[in-house]
Structure 1
């Protein structure tokens, strides 16, 4: 495959792929119930590192 053919393929189908990926991620993040999961994930670095560990 030559460079020009590869570039033409990436210009057309690559743009479509990235657009579909963007829409999928956006829909995933704004679905019902995603807010609490996002809040929980954002709090991971702030949690105590010993949380959930049995202190034996």
Structure 2
């Protein structure tokens, strides 16, 4: 097995699983129990220092 074939096998199998886990982590990160304060702050950040005049 050549070096290219080994890298190709790694990229096709293990790296795909790794990237899926990273994607899943990013999708679920805002829903963790300790993130409520950060989510609330981000949600209301567009209204801070809002001057209508």
TM range (shorter): 0.5 to 0.7
Deviation at 1:27, TM superposition (A): 1.2
State the TM-score, normalized to the length of structure 1: 0.53
RMSD, aligned α-carbons:
2.5
What stretches of structure 2 of length at least 5 have no aligned partner? none
Deviation at 1:25, TM superposition (A): 1.1
Q: Which has the higher contact order (CA 8 A, sep 6+)?
A: 2
What stretches of structure 1 of length at least 5 have no aligned partner? 49-56
Residue of structure 2 in register with 1:2 after alignment: 3
Equivalent pairs, count: 47
Residue of structure 2 in register with 1:19 after alignment: 20
Alignment of 1:10-49 (within 5 A): 10-32=11-33, 34=35, 37-38=38-39, 40-41=41-42, 43=45
